[in-house]
């Protein structure tokens, strides 16, 4: 080959190596190599991601690579117990623990019944009987992963991890224990089985945003979602009738255009059960905080003072079944507020078909979809609803509702707010742990950060 040919080839190669396509490809390869090196040195992984190396060598198309959790190593956790939202937090904590270990979480059992001490009387129910398994994995792909026990190749290759207990078992010690299990030889076991405490009681190492991501992936199975649809439709239909009657009385005839608009409703998580009042009084004494308990009268007054509520407005009361026979919860409300509970709404039979866990899940959906939600800042149920509503608002670009007429506002009736109404409430998505949500707080604001 002569000199002129060499020069010509050099110019061609120079143009190719200087092209935008080559630069992008080179940057991608460098990024993948850098990521592989990081994963190999990071204590939470312990090995090179060979899928990435296969992409670099051209063995695997880039779009087919799963940049997520390993599917050949698993974490198994104890049966998840207690109330619905404590179970949701426990499930999320188990997911995030598996994520740290770079393992797939074996689908855990939830608890359909509600017993705090009689563990042997708990009625187990499979996760996929309540929430959509495949939908969860699709929405959380690359973040956390659920697997079936049938995915395990060797049931005998199990390492038991005993969670520490007591005051000496600090958050740091718990974190060190998890880190140890990301390294050989412990990481070599196909299954790590956590024995001991319910995951709700595990130490927390993850920010609120990580929990919010897991909660976003939890979608009720169609059967229960449709039941929630029926309840919400009943509420809105009754609200439409009330508003139509009111408009007819004021204008002489109903307004056709207004009747076509979806009728908003307020959902109030009314914590006034005897066991709750005993618990919150003791909590006030221990913590020296007075804004935890709320009487029925205080709740009614503060909800009635929410600025901007149009009259008439239907108020759905999410209350314990023991209060359904108490007719006094439906009296004493401000004029223009129409209080309803399951019995008066005519949906009691929908709930009675199911065990406690499903009843609570349906009520959760009804409150979550409300145009206005009012709850107690020391209730896990209320806290998780506000977290999800805050996430919705952030998706819409709203991070502060203090002075704005926003969709999906939430309030805490146990804390005084504007015009003697309840305090506006958004979850602080910048919190480094779920502590405030798990156990409640009166330090709330209408800002998400």
> Any idea what the CATH number is for the domain that residue 236 is in?
3.40.50.11350
311 & 423 share domain: yes
Inter-residue contact 93 to 105 (CB < 8 Å): no
Per-residue pLDDT of the chain (449 residues; tens, 9 = 90+): 454 444 444 444 445 445 555 555 556 556 555 554 444 433 333 333 333 333 333 333 333 344 568 999 999 999 999 999 999 999 999 999 999 999 999 999 999 987 655 566 678 999 999 999 999 999 999 999 999 999 999 888 899 999 988 889 999 999 999 999 999 999 999 999 999 889 999 999 999 999 999 999 999 999 999 999 999 999 999 998 888 777 665 555 555 545 556 789 999 999 998 889 999 999 999 999 889 999 999 999 999 999 989 889 999 999 887 666 677 899 999 999 999 999 999 999 999 999 999 999 999 999 999 999 999 999 999 999 999 999 999 999 999 988 878 888 999 999 999 999 999 999 999 999 999 999 899 999 999 98
Helix (H, G, I), strand (E, B) or coil at 314: strand
Q: Evaluate the CA torsion angle 290, 295, 300, 303 in order and state its sign.
A: positive
Q: Is residue 256 part of a domain?
A: no
Residue 130: both structure tokens together: 């309540």
284 & 213 share domain: no
pTM, rounded to two decimals:
0.81
412 & 296 share domain: yes
Q: Is residue 3 part of a domain?
A: no
The residues that bridge with 194 in the sheet, in sequence order, are 161
Q: Which domain holds residue 226?
A: 222-245+262-439
Q: Is residue 388 part of a domain?
A: yes
Helix (H, G, I), strand (E, B) or coil at 104: strand
289 & 172 share domain: no
186 & 89 share domain: yes
331 & 382 share domain: yes
Res 251: pLDDT: 54
Q: Is residue 136 part of a domain?
A: yes
235 & 211 share domain: no
Res 64: pLDDT: 35
CATH number for 145: 3.40.50.11340
Q: Is residue 93 part of a domain?
A: yes
Q: Is residue 29 part of a domain?
A: no
User: How many folded domains does the chain comprise?
Assistant: 2
């Amino acid at each position: 080959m002569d000199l002129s040919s060499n020069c010509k080839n050099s110019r061609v190669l120079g143009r190719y190596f200087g092209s935008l396509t080559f630069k992008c490809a080179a940057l991608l390869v460098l990024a993948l190599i850098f990521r592989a090196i990081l994963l190999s040195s990071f204590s939470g992984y312990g090995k090179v991601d060979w899928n990435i190396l296969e992409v670099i060598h051209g063995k695997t198309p880039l779009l087919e690579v799963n940049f997520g959790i390993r599917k050949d190593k698993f974490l198994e956790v104890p049966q998840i117990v207690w109330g619905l939202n404590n179970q949701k937090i426990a499930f999320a904590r188990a997911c995030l623990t598996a994520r740290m270990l770079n393992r797939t979480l074996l689908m855990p059992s939830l608890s359909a019944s509600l017993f705090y001490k009689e563990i042997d009387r708990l009625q187990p129910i499979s996760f996929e009987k309540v929430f959509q398994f495949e939908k969860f994995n699709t929405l959380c792909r690359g973040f956390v992963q659920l697997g079936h026990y049938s995915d395990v190749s060797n049931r005998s290759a199990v390492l038991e991890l005993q969670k520490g207990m007591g005051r000496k078992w600090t958050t740091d010690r718990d974190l060190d224990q998890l880190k140890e299990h990301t390294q050989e030889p412990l990481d070599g076991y196909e299954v790590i089985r956590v024995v001991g405490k319910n995951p709700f009681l595990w130490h927390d190492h993850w920010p609120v945003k990580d929990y919010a991501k897991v909660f976003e992936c939890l979608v009720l199975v169609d059967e229960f979602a449709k039941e929630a649809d029926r309840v919400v439709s009943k509420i809105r239909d009754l609200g439409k009738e009330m508003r139509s009657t009111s408009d007819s009385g004021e204008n002489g005839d109903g307004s056709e255009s207004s009747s076509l608009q979806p009728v908003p409703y307020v959902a109030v998580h009314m914590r006034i059960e005897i066991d709750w009042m005993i618990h919150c009084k003791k909590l006030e004494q221990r913590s020296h905080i007075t804004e935890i308990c709320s009487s029925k009268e205080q709740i009614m007054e503060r909800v009635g003072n929410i600025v901007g509520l149009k009259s008439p407005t239907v108020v759905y009361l999410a209350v314990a079944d023991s209060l359904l026979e108490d007719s006094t919860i439906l009296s004493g409300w401000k004029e223009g507020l129409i209080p309803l509970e399951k019995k008066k709404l005519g949906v009691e039979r929908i709930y009675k078909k199911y065990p406690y866990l499903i009843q609570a899940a349906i009520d959760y959906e009804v409150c979550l979809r409300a145009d206005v939600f009012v709850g107690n800042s020391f209730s896990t149920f209320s806290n998780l609803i506000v977290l999800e509503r805050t996430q919705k608002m952030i998706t819409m670009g709203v991070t502060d509702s203090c002075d704005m007429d926003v969709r999906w506002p939430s309030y805490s009736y146990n804390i005084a707010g504007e015009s003697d109404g309840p305090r506006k409430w958004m979850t602080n998505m910048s919190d480094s742990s779920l502590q405030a949500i798990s156990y409640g707080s009166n330090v709330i604001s209408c800002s998400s950060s």
